[in-house]
């Protein structure tokens, strides 16, 4: 076997490993959003729990988004999560 074929094989293996790692990383980042999703789900009347929350609780969630969740997503360049958190922040700020 020549060196080029060995390197091509190694490169293909690394690309496959990268794809698997990226999928796992995305899945783990998605898990971060799960606890917040229930706050924004609408009930049978079309209202979410955020409508019934106190202002200080909303501020605490926004603080958590700003200090914990968004920095992690930005560091990971996880745009789907960044977009979702910004959407939720807007909802909290408007209600």
Per-residue pLDDT of 4-47, as tens digits, reads 777 777 677 777 766 776 666 788 899 999 999 999 998 888 88
On the 0-12 / 13-18 / 19+ scale of CB atoms within 10 A, 61 is middle
Q: Give me 62's structure tokens.
A: 């926004």
Domain residue spans in the chain? 3-94
- What average pLDDT does the chain have? 87
In this model, does residue 66 exceed pLDDT 80?
yes
**The tokens 């980042």 sit on which residue?**
29
Q: Give me 13's structure tokens.
A: 């293996």
- Assign residue 77 a region (left: φ > 0; alpha: ψ between -120 and 50; beta: otherwise): left
Distance CA 53, CA 33 (A): 19
CA distances from 80 to 5, 53, 59, 84, 94 (A): 37, 26, 23, 6, 21
Confidence of residue 2 (pLDDT cuts 50, 70, 90): confident
What does the pLDDT read at residue 14? 73
In this model, does residue 68 exceed pLDDT 70?
yes
Taking the model in full, what pTM does it have?
A: 0.74
What does the pLDDT read at residue 32? 93
Give the number of C-alpha atoms closer than 13 A to the C-alpha of residue 36, restricted to the C-beta side. Answer: 23
């Amino acid at each position: 076997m020549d060196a080029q074929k060995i390197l091509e094989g190694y490169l293909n293996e690394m690309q496959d490993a990268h794809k698997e790692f990226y999928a796992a990383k995305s899945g783990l980042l998605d898990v971060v959003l799960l606890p917040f999703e229930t706050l924004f789900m609408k009930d049978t009347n079309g209202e979410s729990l955020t409508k019934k929350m106190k202002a200080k609780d909303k501020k605490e969630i926004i603080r958590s988004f700003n200090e914990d969740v968004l920095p992690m997503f930005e560091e990971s360049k996880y745009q789907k999560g960044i977009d979702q958190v910004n959407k939720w922040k807007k909802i909290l700020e408007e209600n």
